[in-house]
Amino acid sequence: MYVCVCNAVTEDDVHGCMANGACTTAKEVKAACGWKPSCGSCTKRIHAMVSRFRTASELADALTGGPLPLAAAPEPTYAATVPEPAEESTSSNAA
C-alpha cells in the first residue's frame, strides 16, 4: 500500500529503510526514499509508521536482550533440510 502517493513510496519501502537500521527518524526515511515535498498529506502517516516501528523494535530488543551480533547468529543447516540426491541404479536398467 502506498504511504505517499505523490512520491510513489510504499509501506514496504519505509519498512525496508528502517529494518536495515539505516533510518531511525521520519526525516531519514524521507531522504532515503527520495521524498520530494508535495501535498504533505502523508506526513502524519510516515511519522506514525516510524513511531510504531521504533516501539516494536525496542520492545523486541527488550524481550530478547537486543539484536544478535552477526557472529552470534547460527549458521543455517541446509544438510538437515535438503535430502541427498538418490543414486542412480544402473543394474536394473542394464538388461
Task: Tell me which residues touch ligand FES (CB under 6 A).
Answer: 4-7, 38-42
CA distance 91 to 61: 59
Nearer residue to ligand FES within complex by CB, 7 or 57: 7
Name the minimum Å distance from CB 38 to ligand FES: 4
Q: Which is nearer to ligand FES, 32 or 57 (CB)?
A: 32
* CB of 18 vs ligand FES, minimal distance in Å: 17
State the nearest-atom distance from the C-beta of 74 to ligand FES, in Å.
41
- Identity of the residue, 8 or 59, whose beta carbon is nearer to ligand FES in the bound complex: 8
Residue pair 38/44 in contact (Cβ under 8 Å)? The answer is: no
